[in-house]
């Protein structure tokens, strides 16, 4: 039932409001709500928040911005579940002050209002800090003094100092509190980080991959992500280029998980031992890197689960287990899991579908628990959209209850609403359509949707210009400029991005004109690379990642603003910190083959400058002085981007 005051549409929130919105430690959380009541009395409001488990609430006053929309912000300091509430009340002091000013201007008698004000101050005095109570009592007395001029009495009771004392003090007369809104606060790495995907087997196993970590760290990456490191099945093993017949030396796809050596909690002996993996994790930590593992819930025909739990798989009418398909692709070496099993055929009659499902889901959770115990806190989740939403809704909070610092990246290139739902129910980050957004209008439209729209309150994008599965857009047979420009876009448009190894060497040969996969894909063979070959983009990547780390504006998502350029091959956007102390302007030539030039139309108010200002090109090192909002830029393929630090003119 509605009360006197209405509080509704509280944000941040997810699409349905049934799951927590997302924040991160050190990141400002903007809270807003529609707040109104009947009549013309003035309202006051505040936001309350706390980490669940804390006894006391933190408070911040809210301000009405426009059209009964109120806003406030706070910065969480703890990882884990939080709750937010909004309180509102009639600000009787501000209302009285407004009414007295109006009546005084009309020349009306104010004796009744002065007495009303004195009584109000006496009623509110017990609600303020003890040090201010005497001041309110003196003000109430002064308002009643008949031997003073009216101006003196009004000033004593209604001046700004009294208003400041009463600001944010709730009036119990009609204090209204909203329902509680949930917020999940992640650690900072959930918001910002650079991922590097590495196949350990191509480096000679864990021991060889450890030697690669220094180069990965020197390029400025934060996370080294490993595809599945588990035993690989031999039944229907794929050969080079995804052929159906594997040769004796073909290693198979790492995603065909499970063999006679074990399943998801075992290490492929060709990579080393679990002790070798532990050393790899330790060396990564020493280099300032975190290790992310692939969490792929599927099995090869040789996985122990196939033998021990046939009910966990889909069966055809002839009794055979159905392999995975994504037409026209076929994965004969992979069995998808049936997350809604009907119980073991011919098994114990007491084993129901519910108990079979519980056993399967707990086994899947056990995989995460196992690798967390070996120091892994970040998981890239393979194809989560092919598993039930109910499973993720249960699994992620179940693990976070004991390990709130874990991070889950959803690899779901699927329909937008499905991707959004996965984020809503708990996934920390999401792969995106960035790989296929190449035109300026596409990039501007897409970033406006995911960074400035309501999804940004719970869905964190992670931009990947390439993956082992995807070689797309200008990278296909593209020149180094294509790799440079796409890298700059990924690394500066969103706080989190990823890159599959070989990108720095500009590997650009697709399987075919229509197939987006790589020719001689590393998914099916061991690739030996010469990392120090001439023309490597490693120095360029290091420079961009260094810029990212030095500019806090690039660690934020919802601060991107686009500026107009009169050439569609030039895209221009800026990012600024909340306090305006760090402002970065990025200009990119989207044409990897030709020099492009443009006149920009900058919104100087967004950049925090007026008239003339300087920009330092963090990529090239040059400093330019620009006069007004319409500078000229020219970018050639040798350096197809500017990353400009905007500075007031000295």
Domain borders along the chain are 5-185, 189-296+378-554, 560-648
Fold (CATH) for 5-185:
Immunoglobulin-like (2.60.40)
**pLDDT category of residue 266 using cuts at 50, 70 and 90:** very high
3 state DSSP class of 386: helix
pLDDT per residue as tens digits for the range 299-341: 999 999 999 999 999 998 988 888 888 777 788 999 999 999 8
The reported pLDDT for the residue numbered 118 is 87
The reported pLDDT for the residue numbered 450 is 97
Candidate list 411, 504, 507, 517, residue with the active-site label: 411
3 state DSSP class of 618: coil
Q: Report the top-level CATH class of 560-648.
A: mainly beta
When the pLDDT of each residue in the chain is averaged and rounded to a whole number, the result is 94
The packing angle between helices 111-124 and 130-144, to 10°, is 160
If phi > 0 it is left, if psi is from -120 to 50 it is alpha, else beta; for residue 184 that is beta
Candidate list 382, 457, 504, 522, residue with the active-site label: 382
Distance CA 576, CA 554 (A): 8
**pLDDT category of residue 89 using cuts at 50, 70 and 90:** very high
What string of DSSP letters covers 531-555?
TT-TT-SHHHHHHHHHHHHH-GGGG
pLDDT of 128 over the 70 cut? yes
Percentage of residues of the chain with pLDDT beyond 90:
81
Cβ(503)–Cβ(480) under 8 Å? no
Q: Is 41 a catalytic residue?
A: no
**Tokens 């090109």 sit at which residue?**
617
Q: Which two tokens mark 556?
A: 């934020």
The reported pLDDT for the residue numbered 590 is 98
Q: Is 351 a catalytic residue?
A: no
- For 304, list phi and psi in degrees, rounded to 5: -55, -30
Would you tell me how many other CB atoms lie within 10 Å of the CB of residue 455? 20
Strand pairing partners for 381? Answer: 295, 410
Select the CATH number that applies to the domain covering 189-296+378-554 from these four: 3.30.420.40, 3.30.230.70, 2.160.10.10, 3.20.20.80. Answer: 3.20.20.80
pLDDT per residue as tens digits for the range 417-461: 999 999 999 999 999 999 999 999 999 999 999 999 999 999 999
For 342-476, strand residue ranges (E) read: 378-382, 407-411, 429-430, 462-463
pLDDT per residue as tens digits for the range 155-201: 878 888 888 888 888 888 899 999 999 999 999 999 999 999 999 99
Q: Are 5-185 and 560-648 the same fold in CATH?
A: yes
**pLDDT category of residue 410 using cuts at 50, 70 and 90:** very high
pLDDT per residue as tens digits for the range 34-84: 999 999 999 999 999 999 989 999 999 999 999 999 999 999 999 999 999
The reported pLDDT for the residue numbered 344 is 62
Q: Which two tokens mark 520?
A: 């001689």
């Amino acid at each position: 039932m509605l009360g006197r005051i209405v509080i509704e549409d509280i944000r941040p929130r997810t699409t349905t409001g049934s799951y927590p919105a997302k924040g991160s430690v050190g990141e400002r959380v903007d809270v807003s709500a529609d707040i109104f009541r009947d009549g013309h009395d003035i309202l006051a409001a505040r936001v309350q928040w706390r980490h669940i488990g804390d006894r006391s609430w933190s408070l911040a006053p809210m301000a009405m911005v426009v059209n009964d929309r109120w806003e406030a912000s706070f910065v969480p300091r703890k990882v884990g579940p939080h709750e937010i509430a909004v309180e509102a009340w009639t600000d009787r002091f501000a209302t009285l002050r407004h009414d007295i000013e109006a009546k005084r201007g009309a020349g009306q008698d104010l004796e009744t209002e002065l007495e009303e004000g004195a009584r109000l101050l006496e009623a509110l005095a017990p609600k303020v800090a003890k040090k201010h109570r005497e001041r309110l009592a003196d003000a109430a007395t002064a308002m009643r003094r008949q031997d003073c001029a009216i101006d003196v009495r009004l000033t004593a009771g209604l001046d700004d100092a009294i208003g400041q004392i009463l600001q944010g003090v709730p009036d119990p007369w009609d204090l209204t509190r909203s329902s509680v809104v949930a917020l999940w606060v992640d650690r900072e790495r959930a918001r910002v980080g650079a991922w590097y995907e590495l196949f350990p087997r191509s480096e000679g196993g864990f021991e060889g991959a450890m030697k690669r970590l220094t180069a990965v760290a020197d390029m400025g990456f934060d996370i080294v992500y490993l595809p599945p490191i588990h035993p690989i099945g031999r039944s229907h093993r794929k050969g080079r280029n995804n052929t159906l017949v594997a040769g004796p030396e073909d290693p198979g796809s790492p995603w065909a998980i499970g063999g006679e050596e074990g399943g998801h909690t075992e290490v492929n002996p060709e990579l080393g031992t679990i002790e070798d993996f532990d050393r790899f994790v330790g060396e990564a930590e020493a280099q300032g890197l975190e290790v992310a593992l692939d969490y792929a819930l599927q099995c090869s025909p040789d996985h122990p689960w196939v033998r021990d739990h046939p009910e966990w798989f889909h069966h055809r009418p002839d009794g055979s287990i159905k392999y995975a398909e994504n037409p026209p692709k076929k994965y004969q070496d992979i069995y998808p899991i049936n997350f809604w099993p009907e119980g073991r055929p011919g098994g114990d009659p007491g084993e129901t579908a519910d108990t079979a499902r519980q056993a399967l889901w707990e086994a899947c959770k056990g995989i995460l628990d196992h690798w967390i115990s070996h120091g892994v806190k970040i998981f890239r989740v393979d194809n989560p959209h092919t598993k039930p939403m109910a499973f993720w809704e249960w699994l992620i909070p179940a693990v976070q209850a004991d390990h709130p610092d874990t991070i889950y990246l959803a690899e779901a290139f699927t329909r937008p609403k499905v991707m959004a739902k996965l984020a809503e129910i708990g996934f920390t980050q999401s792969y995106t359509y960035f790989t296929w957004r190449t035109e300026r209008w596409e990039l501007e439209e897409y970033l406006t949707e995911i960074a400035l729209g309501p999804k940004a309150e719970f869905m964190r994008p992670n931009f990947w210009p390439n993956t082992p599965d995807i070689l797309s857009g200008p990278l296909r047979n593209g020149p180094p400029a294509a790799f440079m420009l796409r890298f700059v876009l990924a690394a500066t448009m969103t706080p989190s991005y990823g890159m599959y190894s070989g990108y720095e060497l500009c590997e650009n040969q697709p399987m075919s004109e229509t197939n987006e996969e790589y020719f001689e894909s590393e998914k099916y063979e061991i690739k030996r690379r010469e990392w120090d070959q001439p023309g490597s983009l490693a120095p360029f990547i290091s420079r961009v990642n260094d810029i990212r780390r030095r500019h806090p504006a690039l660690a934020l998502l919802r601060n991107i603003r686009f500026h107009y350029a009169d050439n569609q091959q030039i895209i221009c956007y800026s990012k600024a910190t909340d306090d305006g102390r760090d402002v970065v302007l990025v200009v990119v030539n989207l044409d990897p083959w030709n020099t492009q030039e443009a006149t920009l139309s900058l919104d100087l108010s967004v950049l925090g400058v007026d008239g003339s200002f300087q920009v330092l090109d963090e990529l090239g090192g040059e400093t330019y002085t620009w006069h007004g909002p319409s500078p000229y830029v020219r970018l050639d393929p040798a350096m197809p981007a500017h990353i400009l630090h905007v500075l007031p003119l000295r």
